[in-house]
């Protein structure tokens, strides 16, 4: 929504997302080690602050380079949260011997996150009508800062990473070493999570399908709801490899139709995709055995960012159809894992 009236081309927007991914590639794993060595909760607090600064930069400097600087800040904030949240959640459960509940709780968190997008879409429509993307941007700044305040209240179990614990470099190396024996689980998360890049293009797709800009948030309101349904079912149903393959077919069909009704197929794509994402994320967390949980998770995240570069290129040259084909390829790899 922030880019709706920015005047940027699809190629420039793809370049901005590439800058965001490059930032993540550079800082993802080091930031995961920071969370493991010091505090996962503090990393999440800092994440909200940096992302707030990113939104503010977009509003104050609405040019390509202003957006680029904002994406760097947004990317830095994202790396501090990536891995830290999963580690905080899993270790909090493990401290009480409830780690087996992680999959169901992870599904619930994803479901709530997606459902929350519905009122946000309604509010975004109103804000865009009243004050354009600037008003929406400043509200986004406030929301990011509010998330930091909420993160301050998260409980964090004690770990052996205080003054007497291993140093930063030792923590980083521990995480990198552990990612090797569980590489299949790491690769599955990297490949599947990279598909989430597609979410950034939903508004552009719907605009291309002849939906007026002011109505884009409401037109796509059902997409996160279907995604929430898929995530919720993942907490109750076992993994099925063909689900991701079906997801890719839905996206290809939507791209072929390219009319407003294709939003239904877009929602089905997203729901099936979210079902698979919850499962591969949960499997990875169960396989990690060291205290460098955030670092290992960040290794998977950096893999997803590297794959995302290819998806950005596919968007420029093949849009949703090209990404749909890529989803089919990922589905084959994950299905055979």
CATH number at 265 reads 1.20.1250.20
Helix 84-94 × helix 64-81 angle, to 10°:
20
pLDDT of 11 > 80? The answer is: no
- pLDDT for the residue 68: 92
Any idea which of 144-153, 207-216, 267-276 has the lowest mean pLDDT?
207-216
Please state the domain count of the chain. Answer: 1
138 within a domain of the structure (yes/no): yes
The percentage of the chain sitting over the pLDDT mark of 90, rounded to a whole number, equals 47
- pLDDT for the residue 248: 93
Confidence band, pLDDT 50/70/90 cuts, at residue 303: confident
- List pLDDT tens digits, range 308-321: 777 877 777 767 88
More confident residue, 2 or 228: 228
1 within a domain of the structure (yes/no): no
pLDDT of 224 > 60? The answer is: yes
234 within a domain of the structure (yes/no): yes
pLDDT, average across residues 258-277: 93
pLDDT of 162 > 80? The answer is: no
82 within a domain of the structure (yes/no): yes
3 within a domain of the structure (yes/no): no
Confidence band, pLDDT 50/70/90 cuts, at residue 30: very high
Instruction: Name the average pLDDT for the chain.
Output: 86
Domain range holding 286?
Answer: 10-155+164-335
Nearest residue to 53 (alpha-carbon basis) of 142, 161, 127? 142
323 within a domain of the structure (yes/no): yes
pLDDT, average across residues 278-306: 91
Answer for the pair 244, 272: CB distance below 8 angstroms, yes or no.
Answer: yes
pLDDT of 111 > 80? The answer is: yes
Answer for the pair 278, 110: CB distance below 8 angstroms, yes or no.
Answer: yes
Confidence band, pLDDT 50/70/90 cuts, at residue 6: low
The percentage of the chain sitting over the pLDDT mark of 70, rounded to a whole number, equals 93
pLDDT, average across residues 165-172: 85
- pLDDT for the residue 337: 57
pLDDT of 7 > 80? The answer is: no
Residues 275, 151, 110, CA angle at the centre, nearest 5°?
Answer: 10
pLDDT of 297 > 90? The answer is: yes
Using CB atoms within 10 Å of the CB of residue 96, give its burial: 0 to 12 exposed, 13 to 18 middle, 19+ buried: exposed
DSSP states along 24-88: HHHHHHHHHHHHHHT-HHHHHHHHHHHHHHHHHHHHHS-SHHHHHHHHHHHHHHHHHHTTHHHHH
4 within a domain of the structure (yes/no): no
pLDDT of 21 > 60? The answer is: yes
Token reading at 326: 């890529």
pLDDT of 239 > 70? The answer is: yes
5 within a domain of the structure (yes/no): no
């Amino acid at each position: 929504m922030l880019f709706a009236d920015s005047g940027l081309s699809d190629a420039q927007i793809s370049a901005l997302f590439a800058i965001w991914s490059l930032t993540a590639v550079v800082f993802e794993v080091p930031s995961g080690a920071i969370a493991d060595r010091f505090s996962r909760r503090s990393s999440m607090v800092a994440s909200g602050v940096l992302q707030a600064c990113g939104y503010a930069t977009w509003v104050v400097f609405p040019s390509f380079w202003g957006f680029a600087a904002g994406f760097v800040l947004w990317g830095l904030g994202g790396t501090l949260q990536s891995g830290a949240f999963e580690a905080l959640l899993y270790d909090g459960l493990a401290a009480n011997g409830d780690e087996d509940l992680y999959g169901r709780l992870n599904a619930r968190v994803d479901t709530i996150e997606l459902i929350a997008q519905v009122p946000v879409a309604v509010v975004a429509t109103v804000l865009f009508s009243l004050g354009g993307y600037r008003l929406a941007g400043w509200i986004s700044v406030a929301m990011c800062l509010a998330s930091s305040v909420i993160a301050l209240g998260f409980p964090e179990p004690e770990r052996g990473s205080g003054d007497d614990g291993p140093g930063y470099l030792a923590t980083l190396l521990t995480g990198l070493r552990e990612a090797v024996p569980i590489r299949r689980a790491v690769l599955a998360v990297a490949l599947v999570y990279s598909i989430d890049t597609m979410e950034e293009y939903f508004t552009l797709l719907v605009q291309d399908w002849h939906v007026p800009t002011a109505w884009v948030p409401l037109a796509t309101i059902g997409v996160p709801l279907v995604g929430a349904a898929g995530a919720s079912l993942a907490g109750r149903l076992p993994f099925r490899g063909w689900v991701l393959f079906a997801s890719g077919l839905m996206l290809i069909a939507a791209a072929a139709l390219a009319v407003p009704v294709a939003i239904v197929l877009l929602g089905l794509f997203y729901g099936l995709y979210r079902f698979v994402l919850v499962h591969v994320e949960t499997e990875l967390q169960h396989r990690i055995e060291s205290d460098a949980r955030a670092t290992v998770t960040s290794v998977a995240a950096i893999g997803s960012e590297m794959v995302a570069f290819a998806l950005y290129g596919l968007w420029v040259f093949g849009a949703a159809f090209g990404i749909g084909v890529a989803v089919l390829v990922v589905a084959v790899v994950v299905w055979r894992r």
